[in-house]
Amino acid sequence: MRSRSSVRRAAAFAAVGAAAVAAVVIGSTPALAEPETRPESAYALAGAGLINLGPLAKVESPDGKPVKESVVGIPNVADTISGGVLSSEARAGYAAASVTDLKVATLLKAGVIRTKCENGRGRVEIVDGQLLGTPLPEVTIGGTTLDLGIVRASIGEEKRNADGSITVTGVSVSVLPGGLPDVTGNLLQGVVNTAGTDSAARPLLSQVTDLLGLPEVTLPQLTAPGRAVQTLTIGSATCGTVDDDEVVVDEEESTDEYTDEDAYEDEDAGDHHAVRYEPRAHEAEEAPEPEIVEYSLPVTG
């Protein structure tokens, strides 16, 4: 018969051995990999300068699952900006944004502007678009620029991001992209003085305010040379690439294609299902009201 001390020593050795085995097992268990964060995102409209708004209908899909957002209309600001339906969606390898019935005073109008990024490729489609009366291209792949002097528009611009994804900008409009000059040709800093009869700023200021449907204003945001008086971004979509087995199929309604009075077929896509731009009541919201920069105008005799 073993003594009590022998039993205690055996039990102690067994406990130490079990702890050592447990330590080996625990230490050898591989750490769980963190889920990959996808880059897909999109928004329909944003503005900065005299009128600040958005981004409206913004979505992100970090897990690659389908996500959508729609807002109905843009609150009119001095009859400046109005729109129909603003929609965005994103999922693994895909992002898109669209704006219907857009009108920006006398500056810009379009029946539809649709921006799409799919598996690392961008595409912009425009229906009945005009900038200062100049027709906008119906389809743009790879980017183009329309320079009308007082207004400049980049269409379909693509930017490669550090993570390998690309961001496609539908239409980016800059009003007076070089800033507002004074009589000597230098950019005015701070408040614009329109009192002088020889001021070169006055006619330009009148043109800008007419384009945007605003009264003559001060421009306190012009604090650096070359800053545009107003910028508008209509449609932005960011996407990465996916393998065929990673594609997430969205079984719900998609904005890949649309039918209404205006319709198109994506020549690059194999499926041609049709969808109307009619937001469902549970997902459509009113857009937040844009902000107009405070203005004041010196009264001159």
Query: Regarding beta strands 284-286 and 67-72, do their DSSP bridges make them parallel or antiparallel, or are they unpaired?
Result: parallel
pLDDT band at 10 (very low <50, low <70, confident <90, very high): low
Average confidence score pLDDT of the chain:
71
CB atoms closer than 10 angstroms to residue 143: 15
DSSP element (H, E) containing 123: strand 121-127
Tens-place pLDDT, residues 253-286: 444 443 333 333 344 433 333 333 333 333 455 5
For residue 118, what are the domain limits? 41-171+234-283
C-beta separation of 155 from 143 below 8 A: yes
Lowest mean pLDDT among 22-36, 164-178, 256-270: 256-270
Instruction: Tell me, yes or no, whether 52 and 94 share the same domain.
Output: yes
Shared domain for 125 and 264, answered yes or no, is yes
Average pLDDT over residues 115-126: 96
Q: Give me the pLDDT at residue 193, please.
A: 45
Q: Which stretch of 77-91, 107-121, 139-153, 199-213 has the lowest confidence by average pLDDT?
A: 199-213
pLDDT at residue 159 greater than cutoff 60: yes
Rounded-to-integer distance, Cα 196 and Cα 202, Å: 8
Whether residue 182 sits in one domain with residue 164: no
User: Quick one: 238 and 201 in the same domain?
Assistant: no
pLDDT of residue 245: 58
Q: Are residues 156 and 270 in the same domain?
A: yes
Domain-embedded: residue 299: no
Helices (H), the chain: 4-28, 201-212
Q: Please, which pLDDT band fits residue 248 given cuts at 50, 70 and 90? A: low
Q: What is the pLDDT of residue 105?
A: 86
Confidence of residue 12 (pLDDT cuts 50, 70, 90): low
Whether residue 1 is predicted with pLDDT greater than 80 in this model: the reply is: no
Residues 165 and 182 in one domain: no
pTM: 0.67
**Distance, CA of 98 to CA of 119 (rounded, Å):** 18
Q: Which residue has the higher pLDDT, 148 or 94?
A: 94
Q: Are residues 53 and 94 in the same domain?
A: yes
